[in-house]
Amino acid sequence: IIVAWWEMRSGYEEIYGQRLDADGTVRWLTNGRPICTALGRKSYLTGLSDGQGGAYFAWSDNRNPASQDDIYVQRILPTGLPAWTANGVVVAVSDDHDLAPDLVRANDGGVFVCWANWDPSLGSLIRAQRFSSAGVAQWATAGLEVSTARGYNPSRGYMEPDGADGIILTWSQDRTTQIDVMAQRVAGAGTALWRAGGVRVTNIPTDVWVQGAIADGLGGVMLCWRSDHLVGTDDLFAQRLDADGHALWGADGVPICTASGDQGDPQLTLSADGSLVVGWGDQRTSTRDVYVQRLEPSTGAWGFPEPVLDGVADVPADEGGRVKVNWRGGERDVAWLAQTTHYSIWRATTAVPAKAAVILTSAAAVGPDFKGEAWLVAEGFYWEWLTNQPAARLEGYSYAAATLNDSLSTGTHWHQFQVLAHTADPFVFWPSAVDSGYSVDNLPPDAPTALNVHYGSGNQLSWQPVEAVDLLGYRVHRGDEPDFVPAPGNLVAMVGETTWSDGSGGYGAHYAVAAQDVSGNTSAFSRPSAISNVPVGDALRTLVLHPGVPNPFNPSTTLAFELPRSAAVSLVIVDAAGRRVRTLLSAVPLDRGRHQASWDGRDDAGRGAAAGLYFAHLEADGSSASRRLMLLK
């Protein structure tokens, strides 16, 4: 931080400055470096960062015996040394009193200065000047005359950047029977952009004094004034002007506070969402207290009248194409202040509407019974109207909004949404902040059925097609064991047909096939239900019982097994306690090779077995094998 002050170190008023780093260490000389040590009275000291580690300071100074108070400005380097003429550069010299300077940094690193030029016999004017970063005045010698009519009540000017290398100034000015708030926008070249002499911000039959201003970040300005026209004590009011000088918060602004007693000394700041936050001293009681208020940016309404988006989230367990837009009603959707009549939901799109007639100039046209198509123009895109919902004094609201594209594994398709709270006055509505989300297809396709493998010179796989409009294709995995786990490392093919030839699989290959949709959802894996042309020879040396297909199952599963030699075979189903449930084969003589048997989920008496864990137990030629089975109901 760089801080400056005036003091009587040498027996007369001087200005000193000091720089502190982030941990509070003093960076310049003990007790500061001098900014101005010229003789004369100093007043109205103000400062501003120069954006390069230094600072600008301006003040009123009567060092010149030939004139009254004059305005001086100085640029201080990060080292604390002056960048310009010692003791400052004079902004304007006149026989009048030049008072109350204000500063705004210019885009080129220079600075704008405005001040009040007061002649006790003629009244006050607001003037402005621009300096380069080298301290050279850019406009006329005496500065630009911003207010063209003098007033007998001196008023200071408040200056804010317009976002386009210009400034917006506000001040109070005498009129025929009252004092009004005025405003003017000045381009960087020194040309007034609004009405000659400025635009009248207030027209209240009393004296109105501007108390502060702040840029709105969109080329306009928010300003605050005090007036006693309501109850005879000073109250605070606010107005917002756009970049063309049009009032956005009603003809005479909006009240910040109209409580009994005087309100004054406001301080203004802009919050991250663009709303105006004002703090002030208040004498509504026997003590002077500090109060604070928020004014939302679109209409200047106090508090939080706008809806608050709680999120935009995918609708789960669907085929995609929708998101949930969730919001809370603002402070005007409550029983004691039921101003909100309905909400409108909007989705951003870059698609140009097919019919120009549906492009609205304002959301004021979207009443509670609005039907049809509607788009609002935004910067670089459109807001497309989706629907209305009536305000019901609820804690929260939700709407399943359609999306234009689902997000895929190849990229996320974000969609932006906004909710507007409407009132009985069609021109009073409050927009929420913008939030975004995306939809995804959460449902996998069905698993392929009837997977057949014919071994030979290039193993031939075939299966039944899966009916799914968003089907991408089929994943084919190959492993060394019958019950291998499909994984990315054993994926051997992604095919769009229902057949595939594996030229390198061989007789020892085992397969699993799944369907996959365009969103990346994968079905359950299917194992072979039929195998043909499997050779038997020396390679087949042990009894093999393959896993049930499917497993878990309902209502039936198929058990394939392989015999190393001809033998009498028994295959039984037992429950978890080891009790026999069903005999599938009882000492049946079978040849060497591959065989299979099916269990329909019933016991030997033909009754349906209970859901649960079972075991298939195979015995042949003194060897045995078992497999776990899970029956679902």
CA–CA separation, 101 vs 440, rounded Å?
A: 58
Predicted confidence at residue 154, as pLDDT, reads 59
Confidence class for position 309, pLDDT limits 50, 70, 90: very high
Cβ neighbour number for residue 625 with a 10 Å cutoff: 17
Predicted confidence at residue 236, as pLDDT, reads 97
Q: With beta carbons less than 8 A apart as the criterion, state whether 449 and 526 touch.
A: yes
3-state secondary structure of 348: strand
Which residues contact residue 469 at a Cβ distance below 8 angstroms, ignoring those fewer than 6 apart?
none
What value does the mean pLDDT of the chain take? 92
Confidence class for position 535, pLDDT limits 50, 70, 90: low
Which two three-digit tokens encode residue 293? 């208020």
Predicted confidence at residue 485, as pLDDT, reads 94
- Give exposure, 408-428, as e/b (b: 16+ Cβ within 10 Å): beeeeeebbbbbbbbbeeeeb
Predicted confidence at residue 538, as pLDDT, reads 45
pLDDT at residue 614 greater than cutoff 70: yes
The residue-averaged pLDDT of 417-436 equals 96
Which tops the pLDDT comparison, 154 or 236?
236
By CB atoms closer than 10 A (0-12, 13-18, 19+), residue 394 is: exposed
Cβ neighbour number for residue 118 with a 10 Å cutoff: 23
The residue-averaged pLDDT of 371-400 equals 95
% of the chain at pLDDT higher than 70: 98
Work out the widest C-alpha separation in the chain, in whole angstroms. 130
Distance of CA 103 to the CA centre of its chain: 33
CA distances from 447 to 36, 438, 450, 500, 526 (A): 85, 27, 10, 17, 6
Cβ neighbour number for residue 613 with a 10 Å cutoff: 11
Amino acid code (one letter) for 258: T
pLDDT at residue 501 greater than cutoff 90: yes
pLDDT at residue 273 greater than cutoff 70: yes
Cβ neighbour number for residue 483 with a 10 Å cutoff: 12
Predicted confidence at residue 152, as pLDDT, reads 67
The lowest-confidence range among 380-389, 474-483, 534-543, 566-575 is 534-543
Predicted confidence at residue 541, as pLDDT, reads 64
Predicted confidence at residue 68, as pLDDT, reads 83
Confidence class for position 287, pLDDT limits 50, 70, 90: very high
pLDDT in tens, 212-235: 999 999 999 999 999 998 878 899
Nearest 5 degrees, angle CA 573-CA 578-CA 582? 25
The residue-averaged pLDDT of 544-570 equals 89
Amino acid code (one letter) for 563: L
CA–CA separation, 503 vs 331, rounded Å?
A: 70
pLDDT in tens, 313-346: 999 989 899 999 999 999 999 998 899 999 999 9
In the chain, what is the straight-line distance between the N-terminal and C-terminal CA atoms, in Å?
A: 73
pLDDT at residue 537 greater than cutoff 70: no
Cβ neighbour number for residue 518 with a 10 Å cutoff: 17
Predicted confidence at residue 536, as pLDDT, reads 53
Predicted confidence at residue 516, as pLDDT, reads 95
The alpha-helical segments, DSSP class H, found in 263-369 are: none
% of the chain at pLDDT higher than 90: 76
CA proximity to 415, closest of 310, 521, 309, 313: 313
pLDDT at residue 539 greater than cutoff 70: no
Q: Give one DSSP letter per residue of 124-182, joined into a string.
A: EEEEEEEE-TTS-B-S-TT-EE--SS-BSS----EEEE-SSS-EEEEEEEE-SSSEEEE
